[in-house]
Structure 1
Amino acid sequence: MRLMPFAPAFPVRSLAEVKRLDELPLPQVRSTYEVIRNSALAFGEKTAVTFLRTADPADPPLRWSYRELLEGVHQTANLLHMLGVGARDAVAVLLPGCYEYHLALWGGAAAGIVQPINPLLAEEKIASLMNASGAKVLIAWGEPELWAKAARLHTQVPTLRTVLRVAPWGEASHEAPFLREGFEDFHMLRQRQPADRLVSGREIQPSDIAAYFHTGGTTGSPKLARHSHGAQVFTAWACVNMQGLTSDDSGINGYPLFHVAGVLPGALTSFSAGAEQIIPTTSLFRNKQVIANYWKLVEKYKTTTVSGVPTVLAALCEVPLADADISSVRYCRTGAAALAPDLAERFEKTFGLHVHEAFGMTEMAGISTITPPGVVGPAGCVGWRMPHSQMRVVALDENGRATNRDVPQGEQGMVIFKSPNLFSGFVDAKDNESAFTPDGWLATGDLGWIDEDGRLNLSGRSKDLIIRSGHNIDPKVIEDALGAHPAVQLCAAVGAPDPYAGELPVAFATLVPGAKVTEQELLEFTSARVDEPPARPKWVAILPTMPVTTVGKIYKPELRELAAQRQTPSPTSRSS
């Protein structure tokens, strides 16, 4: 059955319009493969993916049409099928930002279960993830360092039969290494496969698992979250409707494609509506030249959307607009971490773009709430729930877990959800014990409150609370105060261990280039703006760079470690 690409039903500007979307039927599209197929049939030669080989706006890009994307997905799925991949087999992916990532993502999900992996993880963690999934095939980048890692993984994962090498762009044939048994050339084998169909004849069902995404991979043991095809399709449909996305839109997707933000609210949403997605070099937003030339790239490609995590937006604030014409931009969105009020104000004042916040998580196929275009909210307001979804804010018990008691409007509690894009649980059933409430709601661990317009406002993570002598301190209170200083570029507050109080609030900051301020001045500035005495930080430390994860979130575990090293309380002193 041929279905049309997704298109917004009407603009969403209120909760009443979200409820109107509730009355529409859920999409009949059964799989991510059908999403790609439907758009290819509708848009044919229209550009689906644009890849920037360098960050130089003058450098001609590489482009692939929707027809070519579907053909590549067919060939990739057929190659994996030939290699013995079935519907329940995992295909691991170790690639940077590149067009081939989309062949691996959607071809992998059409043949089996795709497993995108952060290539910057330690080798033992990657091996652990692949052993947890029983990966049968690995698709890896041919650049020497990553390829050497892939070669070693072949001996560490007993289920791994084949490693497919993706040659870096521009590699001459004589530069390619000799491939021993068990290793094959991805492009050479793919191009031998039929491009017009799935030779397996597989009829993918909405409940079939499309992907394993790892979460918690920066600390402890990573967990594998299972995404169904239906959940991922719903995310794309909901994002199109909530954001008003059409085939006239285009955007620079600088999120890594092992992360749900880049794959689902980013890539699949774009493909489902026939929009154009621009990949800014293999290093994405980690490429400093991409940031330096960002506004020129927006002007050249006439992008209509701007999206990045808060740390990326902070970096862009230091890039002069100069004479770049960014009038094509109709929507600016952020997520994945809290947006500081000062950064939101600075970004809007500098570029004339209001930053619309969204809330997403791996356990909800990348998206939970959205602030639509044209809806203005304060920093921390992440918008309305998805249509056909349920959202509650409930009280916490004495151990910080979600209860079944809803809190009044405007009061803080833990955010919980039920939704069509809820994940299908973790691969390891033990990991599900803390993910859900006894009656089946997803316990997010995020703290927030609902305003009078029905929008969710986030205030932090329950596990990020600083507990000082039994007093719960929201780090965002400190971060908002410190972030208001004109010299501060990024900041974060954490708890430092203390033998008497348990934890003491402390803060770290990086400075705007060229700014001069002392740690004592920042401490006094912050303390004067924090009303509750127990929440005033004991000290503020200035760092040359802020530790961040590969997706640009401030990495608080490292800050806690730095705080523990710096915090040396005197045996005779008592803190309370």
Structure 2
Amino acid sequence: MSMSETRGAAAPFSASFPIRSIEDVRRLEQTPLAEALTVRSTYEIFRNAAAAFDDKTALTFLRSGDPADEPIRWSYARLFAGIHQTANALHRLGVGPEDAVAILLPGCLEYHLALWGGAAAGIAQPLNPLLTDEKLASLMTAGRAKVLIAWGADDDGGMWSKAMRLRSQVPTLTTVLRVAPHDERPGSAGELPAGVADFAALRAAEPDDHLASGRDIAPEDIAAYFHTGGTTGAPKLARHSHGAQVFTAFASIQMTGQGPQDITINGYPLFHVAGVLPASLASLSAGVEVIIPTTTLLRNRQVMANYWKLVEKHRPTSLSAVPTVLAALANVPLDGADISSIRYCRTGAAVLPPELAARFERLFGLHVHESLGMTEMAGISTITPPGVIGPPGCVGLRLPWSQIRIVALDAHGNAGDRELPRGEQGMVLFKSPNLFSGFVDPADTAKAFTADGWLATGDLGWIDAQERLNLSGRSKDLIIRSGHNIDPKTIEDALGAHPAVQLCAAVGAPDAYAGELPVAFATLVPGATASEAELLAFTAARVDEAPAKPRSVVVIEHMPMTNVGKIFKPDLRALAARHVAEALVEEAWADLDLPGAARPRVQTEGEKALTVTIDAAATGPAVQALRARLQDALGRLPLKVQVLVQ
């Protein structure tokens, strides 16, 4: 029996008193953190919750988006027993405190066994299943993953096929554990190949009331590796300690006041910190019932179409989703559904557009409370508590026992040395007990912190008179026009106020003279119509600063998204670059006579490079003149450009 077990169960997390202001946060801080928080690991969180809540429902899995379907429910006692069995099975497979357990699963009950059992035996490594084989193998190799727990079907993202291919691509991998889909008939999977075992069968052979390893988990032990940056370039592995994750859960409960009377729908992916830590670990640390809305979560069209009916059926007390999901929900009519159980509505991951906030309150009577979270701070940095009403962009109060600063940007758009007074916008810096333990690669860690040890978030914001943090965007998303910094949120707020606009984003388009010029992209509300000229005029009239008035507004069918529902601006910057290049190509093409030749093709390679290909069927001086002209015109852009004749 481990020292964690011999200490005995303590009380689950609960709020000391309602938080409504920074004075309340300071009141919490009058008790030293070492006295206020004695839980040392995520394992102890589940031990304490199981002792307190026993047969109370911890997890509810919706088989489908049909409100009439009966879900699968797991109690706190069953969840903790499964965590023991999973940790013990992994220990028997040779997993130790420094070995990673990779997780390739959709939304499912077993995800929580893999996360928390994996952290009790070794280091849990949740993976985005939509990444390529190459990136998944790179992440697992960097984490030295010994075991992979994978979904035993290809119904969502081809997970099982990926798992089978990864076996030969990750040198440290010894075993794959197959998780059977919840509706699979027993025995239908057939015989598994060597090195592959059935997850449920392996667990069933293990004790469910203690850790066979006898491990005493220390707060500084690494609980998980979370990847960040996986959609652009090389992903980085952030190291989360048990202490950091425990603090996230504890501070979240202090700030939100959630407890055993609450129910929440967690539609965030469980490979992402938002879904794992503030939405799951914090909830389960305090006796909240967490609903998993099918394996595909809020990507499930039936779930989205029936969302308000599911609320009426399951009576959640809180709603949490990224702004793009809230925008989609705003198009789903209540149709008489009773949603009065919802007392707290939250969002994060991206700045909430003011018009969307107003629309949500108008349609559903729900004020959307914003928070800020990031992988480098174990999922949460600031929270707007229930009852605190802030303007759009206000992400609330700092966590207790944490610190926040706003500093001016240097000439390269990075965090500078000069601290700014309240009300002035700059880069947001943090120090906090839930800061991550650095990246696996020390070089990445060095870039994340200032010279004096503050986390440089890359977020732009200011502190208001009530000491709440207000965000405007990301430093890397600033549009720099002739050295003038343009906040894209100014344009997005103006364009987003048009009643036909569903989602919008502003980015910099490359320009030979100014470096960048502001342009905007928009999707329309289903059934609505608006011309690009109308949207441009509407936006320009509402942007006071002349340099910030967009040069164009382009209506697109689908907004590019990350896998966690954020608007993916690198794709929009690449699209803007292509539009600029195509206009220059069209101008040059119109001036030259090239009979029988196809118009040159423009292809972007990310947001910073493009290739123009001239049809080799056209020959002679005209082609060479075209190539020279394009090389000259495109070469002036702040991009890497190739002009080829093929």
Q: Same fold (TM over 0.5)?
A: yes
Are 2:305 and 1:298 equivalent residues in the alignment? no
2:553 aligned to which of 524, 534, 540 = 540
The equivalent residue for 1:132 is 142
Residue 559 of structure 1 aligns with which residue?
Answer: 572
Name the count of aligned residue pairs.
576
Aligned to 1:393: 406
Spell out, residue by residue over 1:303-324, the C-alpha distance to the aligned partner (whole angstroms, 9 max, x if none). 0000000000000000111111
1:255 aligns with 2:268: yes
- Whole-Å separation in 2 of the counterparts to 1:355 and 1:192: 46
Q: Which range moved further: 430-439 or 382-391?
A: 430-439
Give the AA of the match of 1:24: T
Displacement of 1:24: 2.7
User: Which ranges of structure 2 fall in alignment gaps of 5 or more residues?
Assistant: 1-6, 589-632, 638-646
Q: How does 1:408-427 map to 2 (within 5 A)?
A: 408-427=421-440
Q: Which residue of structure 2 aligns with residue 478 of structure 1?
A: 491
C-alpha distance in structure 1 between counterparts of 2:218 and 2:30, whole Å: 23
Q: Which of these two proteins has the greater Rg computed from alpha carbons?
A: 2
Counterpart amino acid of residue 88 in structure 2: N
1:217 is aligned, of 230, 236, 261, to 230
User: What is the RMSD computed on CA atoms of the aligned residues?
Assistant: 1.3
- Aligned to 2:197, the other structure's residue is in SS state strand
Residue 3, structure 1, aligned to residue 16, structure 2: no
Which residue of the other structure, out of 15, 24, 31, is the alignment partner of 1:24? 31
d(CA) in 2 for partners of 1:458 and 1:512?
Answer: 26
Alignment correspondent of 1:105:
115
Shift of residue 388, structure 1, vs aligned partner: 0.2
Q: Which range moves more in the overlay, 165-174 or 232-241?
A: 165-174
Which segment drifts farther, 397-406 or 333-342?
Answer: 397-406
Q: State the Cα deviation string for residues 21-56 of structure 1 (Å, max 9, x = none).
A: 112343100000100110000000000000000000
Which of 141, 148, 161 in structure 1 is aligned with 2:174? Answer: 161
CA distance in 2, matches of 1:374, 1:388: 22
What corresponds to 1:232 in structure 2?
245
Residues 219-259 of structure 1, C-alpha deviations (whole Å, 9 max, x = no match): 01000000000000000000001001111001100000000
Partner of 2:613: none
Of 81, 88, 91, the residue aligned with 1:81 is 91
Of 116, 119, 133, 1:123 maps to: 133
Q: Please give the alpha-carbon distance, in whole angstroms, between the structure 1 residues aligned to 2:385 and 2:242.
A: 25
In the alignment, structure 1 residue 33 sits paired with structure 2 residue 43:
yes
Alignment-derived partner of residue 326 in structure 1: 339
Question: Which whole-Å CA distance do the structure 1 matches of 2:48 and 2:186 have between them?
Answer: 36
1: CA distance, partners of 2:315 / 2:446 = 47
Displacement after TM superposition at 1:406 (Å): 1.1
Cα offset, 1:170, TM superposition: 1.3
Displacement of 1:66 after TM fit?
0.2
Partners of 2:514 and 2:168 in 1: CA distance: 49
More displaced 10-residue stretch of structure 1: 103-112 or 164-173: 164-173
Matched, 1:242 2:255: yes
Q: How far is 1:516 from its partner? A: 0.7
Give the Cα–Cα distance (whole angstroms) in 2 for the partners of residues 254 and 433 of structure 1. 33
Structure 1 stretch 301-310 or stretch 169-178: which is displaced more?
Answer: 169-178
1:487 to 500, 515, 526: 500
Q: Would you say 1:194 and 2:207 are equivalent positions?
A: yes
State how far apart, in whole Å, the 2-side matches of 1:182 and 1:294 are: 41
Amino acid paired to 1:325 = D
Q: CA deviation at 1:173?
A: 2.8
SS in 1 for 2:490: helix
Alignment partner of 2:448: what SS? Answer: coil
Kindly state the Cα deviation for residue 403 of structure 1 after the two structures are TM-superposed. 2.0
Q: Which residue in the other structure is 1:445 paired with?
A: 458
Equivalent in the alignment of 2:641: none
Matched, 1:13 2:20: yes
Partner residue, 2:514: 501
Residue deviations 1:395-446 (CA, integer Å, cap 9, x gap): 1111112123211110001000000000000000010121001110000011
Q: Describe the superposition over 1:483-542 as per-residue Cα deviations: whole angstroms up to 9, x where unpaired.
A: 000000000011111122111111111111100110110011001111111111111111
Secondary structure of 1:274 counterpart: coil
Q: What SS is found at the alignment partner of 1:101?
A: helix
Is residue 2:390 matched to residue 1:377?
yes
Would you identify which runs of 4 or more consecutive aligned residues in structure 1 move more than 3 Å?
568-575
Deviation at 1:560, TM superposition (A): 1.0
The one-letter code of the counterpart of 1:244 is G
Tell me, in whole angstroms, the C-alpha distance in 2 between the residues paired with 1:545 and 1:148: 29
Q: What SS class does the counterpart of residue 382 from structure 1 fall into?
A: strand
Q: Is the partner of 1:155 in helix, strand or coil? A: coil
Output one character per residue of 1:193-224: Cα deviation in whole Å (capped at 9) or x when no partner. Answer: 00011000000000000000000111010000
Which of 355, 367, 381 is the equivalent residue of 2:380? 367
Structure 2 counterpart of 1:71, one-letter code = A
Quote the offset at 1:266 in angstroms: 0.5
Measured in 2, the distance between the counterparts of 1:521 and 1:240 equals 46
Partner of 2:153: 143
Aligned positions of 1:522-537 closer than 5 A: 522-537=535-550
1:172 aligns with 2:185: yes
Q: How far off is 1:174 after superposition?
A: 3.8
Amino acid at match of 2:42: T
Q: Secondary structure at the match of 2:542?
A: coil
CA distance in 2, matches of 1:392, 1:228: 24
User: Per the alignment, in what secondary structure is the counterpart of residue 18 of structure 1?
Assistant: helix
* Distance in structure 2 (CA, Å) of the matches to 1:532 and 1:83: 62
Q: Deviations over 1:142-169 (max 9, x none)?
A: 0132111100100000000000000111
Q: Percent identity?
A: 69
Counterpart secondary structure, 1:136: strand
2:77 is the alignment partner of 1:67: yes
Matched residue SS, 2:168: helix
The residue type paired with residue 579 of structure 2 is R
More moved, 306-315 vs 292-301: 292-301
- Amino acid paired to 2:30: E
Q: Structure 1 residue 310 and structure 2 residue 310: aligned?
A: no
Give the aligned partner of residue 266 of structure 1.
279
Q: Which residue of 2 aligns with 1:280?
A: 293
Q: In the alignment, which residue of structure 1 is the partner of 2:469?
A: 456
- SS of 1:328's equivalent? coil
Q: Residue 50 of structure 1 corresponds to which residue in structure 2?
A: 60
Alpha-carbon distance in 1 for matches of 2:508, 2:410:
21
| SS of alignment partner, residue 340 of structure 2 | coil
